[in-house]
Amino acid sequence: ETTPAAEDEGFVVRRNNRQSIHYEDGIVDQLLTPLPNHQLEMLHSRFPPGTYSQQSYSHEGEEAGYVLSGTFELWVGERHFQLVEGDSFSFSSSEPHRYGNPGKVDAVVIWVITPPTF
């Protein structure tokens, strides 16, 4: 990690300065938006093959995502979606949702979430 340049602060996140959360199952979230987050956040999420969110959950706000690579499975309420590289999605976070990677390679998803939860 390097120290971010003073002029970047609050505006730019350099690739090697991302804040990360590593979950037990190998899923890694990296924060792409600078802190402090105001109205929204953007995350780079990597899901190893066969990893899924533990259970459905809901919260205030909205989410949108873009599948950068791999395959991604998404449940929103009673709806179930199979997504592949290049697909995108959006839903109200107040609906119960869960997701995961049914594939044999890492799935990478760019998320935009409001309000910030990181």
CB-based contacts of 5: which residues, under 8 Å, 6+ apart?
none
Q: What is the mean pLDDT of the chain?
A: 94
Task: State whether CATH 3.10.580.10 applies to domain 35-114.
Answer: no
3-state SS, residue 20: strand
**pLDDT at position 110, please?**
98
Sequence ranges of the domains in the chain:
35-114
- State both tokens at 26: 């190998």
pTM recorded for the entire structure:
0.91
**pLDDT at position 2, please?**
64
Helix, strand, coil shares of the chain, percent, nearest 5, are 5, 45, 50
- Residues of the chain falling short of pLDDT 70: 1-2, 4
Per residue in 68-89, pLDDT (tens digit) is: 999 999 999 999 999 999 999 9
β partners of residue 82: 73
